[in-house]
Structure 1
Amino acid sequence: MHYSWSRYLRLILLFLLACLLFGAWMGYPLVGLLLGLAAYFSWTLVQIRRLHTWLSNPDHYVEAPGSVGLWGDLFDGLHRLHQKHLRLRDRLQTQLNRVQESTNAMREAVVMTDSNGTMEWWNGAAEYLLGFRRDTDLGQPVHNLLRHPEFKTYFDNRNYREPLSIRSPAKPHIHLQIQISLFGDDDRLIVARDVTRLTQLEQMRRDFVSNVSHEMRTPLTVLNGYLETLLDSVDDVAPKWRRPLETMNRQAGRMEALIKDLMLLSRLETDEHQMDDEITDVRKLLEQICQDARALSGDRAHQIELSIDDRHFLYGDEGQLRSAFSNIVFNAVKYTPDSGLITVHWVTDRDGAHLSVTDSGIGIDPIHIPRLTERFYRADPSRHQDTGGTGLGLAIVKHVLLNHDGQLEITSHPGEGSTFICHFPRRRITESPEAA
């Protein structure tokens, strides 16, 4: 039976009043009241001891202690809360067990750490791929086990948009792709995937492209040499052979440009090409590229405008930067109608340096933009046949910017032209050689 607090108070007062009256009847009213208070206090101490014993080990006592009045209601209420807590705990434990079982079934290694990198939990695949051991590694900093400088930098930078590729510390022949996600109070969820097969296939592709390019370059050089010789003495050749020779020479030139781009891309992708970081005069470089673009435009009479900020010295490889910048500017010339406007703008701000190339060309459907930097991807294959493009220009731009810690931004709409922006970090901006 449950009573309100006012009912409990009235019962206590009635009990004390009864003790007072009993004491008065015996001739000692104060003694009767004190004896009543002492009895109630003793009973209360007994209930407190029973409550303490139960709360000290609630799982040992299935049922709550029995009592009456206020303490009976208190025991019953705590017992209900305890049973509700047990049901909730069992339900959460069941869900946690299912999550752990499903995570342990994954082939990817999953590791949970706190904000400082202290490992709190990992699945079975992490023991195989990363070499973690539950009996010794729990609570250890993840940097003590993944001793890769690249991983430490990646972990601390908090920029996890792109994954990190490293070798497994436990099995060096395994290539891993690391992806980190933030959750909770700046905690980390680390997922490592085995990408050994993809890495091997990618290496095979690079080797194939590199070897084929080198092997094709020699016979193609011979063919070009003979074709140029025949075209130089075209007056001595029968008229019916002039057009085939010119077509052969033009197509051989396209193939030579393709092989040249393939070899450059192969060098950018592999460790064969060592970057020659130096102070590059962007003003001088862009002026030369714009001059070459005007020559490429020829009779098409494009308007090419160039504006350059005062801070025009960049720390990087001038050869790579020339390839990237010229690809973007020359593409603008190729895909802009005659007499169209092309603006080349170099500007620096608090975020870094930015080269933007805007044209008034035919534009690109935004659906193609995410794939434009893929090798041989063509938004409109017919356009490349007309312009002689190889489909590798923007792939080269992408890798050059990656080598210079930069990013490529593309905005375009059909019929509204296109804008290509190369973003470089602020640390790449430097002073002139004389000032340095």
Structure 2
Amino acid sequence: MQHTWSRHLRYTLAGLTGSTLAGLYLGYPAYGFTAGLVFYLVWTLHQTRRLAQWLADPETADAPPQSLGIWGDVFENLHKLNQSYQQTWSQLRARIGRIQESTNAMHDGVILTDAQGAMEWWNDSAGHLLGFRRNTDLGQYIYNLIRTPSFKAYFDTKNYHDPLELYSPAKPHIRLQVQISLFGDDDRLIVAKDVTRLHQLEQMRQDFVSNVSHEMRTPLTVISGYLETLVDNADDLPAKWRRAINTMASQAFRMESLVTDLILLSRIETGDQALSDAPTDVNRLVQQICQDARTLSGESHHEITFDAAGRYLLNGDENQLRSAFSNLVFNAVKYTPAQGRITVSWVTDSNGASLSVKDTGAGIDQVHIPRLTERFYRADPSRHKDTGGTGLGLAIVKHVLINHDGSLEILSKPGKGSEFICHFPAERLAVETAR
């Protein structure tokens, strides 16, 4: 380009020099120079006009104007840039079209919105699952089309670590799992997955466990009753039967505990139990649980202490809270060696509340902690017979906390003991009134 400009400059100076010499020959060198300059200016304006017309007319964009000198080079280089642009644009359109086609082939709904929630694009599955219409819904705010308060709150939080489940606004029989991801300038990529089948299977499982547990309770109660009678009159039985009867009574008691926990967990999960939201004196409640824990400790002589700080009550269901807190405290007794120390603390302030149960037991490896609240999961299955637990205690704790807007934090290291902390938000607190 530098060479072309130098050549053009030489041609221009040569032309002006020639016109000046012609004027000098006629006796008017100034007029000759001016005439040459005017001609160059008119020619340049003409080329500029041709350039403007060429760029303004898309139909002639593939045929650049023919010219000489620098203008010819300008037209040719612009034509090459335009061809390169058209080629790149075609490639991008092809890629975008392929992405849209592949996204439309997905069974999951995919929606793109801006930071405010205005809908920019969605695939066919999103239109099917959520009832979006391209001719009317483009540019609409998505939370005006999905009119579920929980979705609006989920969209605004920007905390998308866990997905949200809701029913489709267009097809109420479809259960959706919605996951949002942030990209760009807080734009949203929303994926809606149909989990109706999984939800139905989970419901069937819960119904099955609930029904079987209820059906087992009556025969177990009868068996346990007769076994208790036999145990009470074991002295009248032959010696070889006493051990068998005591073993059967112990296993029947464990079965009853398992059925009781299954029924309780089923009621908490399904909401069959009416959930009270009355102010609960957790201080008094945990003191009672600690007293029961000392009785459970018996000859192990655990050192169980309870500390309370704060003047707030907790709005919630006292029976469910008792189940959750007693599971944590009794677990600490079961898994802490004799003479061990168990510290229970209840702390409330304007930021929320927390119940901590800390022990000096064997501790738990980090690999097990994420799964501890699963049903029947055990970090050390070999200790099952020693502790006599059902494997449902922490699952009950998790669901009770979910019902009370709380969360469970587990801190533990092998050989350093464990600490289970129940966190509750400030909205759950109530000021204790004078009686």
The alignment's C-alpha RMSD in Å is 2.2
Q: Which amino acid aligns with 1:391?
A: G
Superposed displacement of residue 189, structure 1: 1.1
The question of 1:289 aligning with 2:303 is answered no
Distance 2:68 2:284 in 1: 95
Q: Which amino acid aligns with 2:423?
A: H
Q: Aligned residue for 1:185?
A: 185
Aligned residue for 2:93, secondary structure, equals: helix
Aligned residue for 1:3, secondary structure, equals: helix
Q: Aligned residue for 1:391?
A: 391
Q: Which residues of structure 1 form unaligned runs of 5+?
A: none
Change (3 A) 1:431 1:31: same
Aligned residue for 1:191, secondary structure, equals: strand
The question of 1:149 aligning with 2:119 is answered no
User: More deviation in 220-229 or 317-326?
Assistant: 220-229
Q: Aligned residue for 1:259?
A: 259
Q: Aligned residue for 1:243?
A: 243
Change (3 A) 1:64 1:377: same
Superposed displacement of residue 63, structure 1: 3.4
Contact 1:279 1:433 in 2 (8 A): no
Contact 1:2 1:73 in 2 (8 A): no
Distance 1:166 1:150 in 2: 8
Deviations 1:187-207 (A, max 9, x none): 111111111111111111111
Q: Aligned residue for 1:206?
A: 206
Please, what TM-score do these two structures have when normalized by structure 1? 0.93
Aligned residue for 2:314, secondary structure, equals: strand
Change (3 A) 1:386 1:121: same
Change (3 A) 1:432 1:259: same
Aligned residue for 1:71, secondary structure, equals: helix
Q: Aligned residue for 2:280?
A: 280
Distance 1:138 1:172 in 2: 22
User: More deviation in 216-225 or 343-352?
Assistant: 343-352
Superposed displacement of residue 335, structure 1: 0.9
Q: Aligned residue for 2:108?
A: 108
Q: Aligned residue for 1:87?
A: 87
Superposed displacement of residue 304, structure 1: 1.8
Distance 1:159 1:190 in 2: 13
Superposed displacement of residue 6, structure 1: 5.3
Superposed displacement of residue 413, structure 1: 2.7
Change (3 A) 1:350 1:186: farther
Q: Which amino acid aligns with 1:258?
A: L
Deviations 1:350-394 (A, max 9, x none): 753222222221222222211111111122222122111101001
Superposed displacement of residue 131, structure 1: 1.9
Distance 1:89 1:332 in 2: 66
Q: Aligned residue for 2:420?
A: 420
Distance 1:255 1:19 in 2: 115
Superposed displacement of residue 331, structure 1: 0.9
Q: Aligned residue for 2:432?
A: 432
Superposed displacement of residue 8, structure 1: 4.2
Superposed displacement of residue 62, structure 1: 1.1
Superposed displacement of residue 77, structure 1: 2.7
Aligned residue for 2:193, secondary structure, equals: strand
Change (3 A) 1:174 1:20: same
Distance 1:204 1:109 in 2: 26
Contact 1:283 1:312 in 2 (8 A): no
Change (3 A) 1:372 1:3: same
Q: Aligned residue for 1:381?
A: 381
Q: Which residues of structure 2 form unaligned runs of 5+?
A: none
Q: Which amino acid aligns with 2:249?
A: N
Please, what TM-score do these two structures have when normalized by structure 2? 0.93
Superposed displacement of residue 290, structure 1: 1.4
Deviations 1:116-172 (A, max 9, x none): 222111112112222222233222222233222222222222221111112222322
Q: Aligned residue for 1:23?
A: 23
Distance 1:330 1:111 in 2: 48
Q: Which amino acid aligns with 1:32?
A: G
Deviations 1:219-258 (A, max 9, x none): 2222233333343444444444433332222222211111
User: More deviation in 369-378 or 245-254?
Assistant: 245-254
Distance 1:241 1:433 in 2: 59
Distance 1:154 1:295 in 2: 45
Q: Percent identity?
A: 62
Aligned residue for 1:266, secondary structure, equals: helix
Q: Which amino acid aligns with 2:427?
A: R
User: More deviation in 78-87 or 54-63?
Assistant: 54-63
Q: Which amino acid aligns with 2:146?
A: L
- Output aligned runs, 1:289-308, within 5 Å: 289-308=289-308
Q: Aligned residue for 2:364?
A: 364
Q: Which amino acid aligns with 1:389?
A: G
User: More deviation in 251-260 or 65-74?
Assistant: 65-74
Contact 1:279 1:430 in 2 (8 A): yes
Distance 1:349 1:49 in 2: 77
Distance 1:186 1:408 in 2: 30
Distance 1:352 1:386 in 2: 37
Change (3 A) 1:335 1:286: same
Deviations 1:58-112 (A, max 9, x none): 4642133232333233223322322222222122222212211211111111111
Q: Aligned residue for 1:40?
A: 40
Deviations 1:17-73 (A, max 9, x none): 433333333233333333222212211111111211222234642133232333233
Q: Which amino acid aligns with 2:360?
A: S
Change (3 A) 1:68 1:270: same
Distance 1:116 1:273 in 2: 40
Superposed displacement of residue 305, structure 1: 2.5
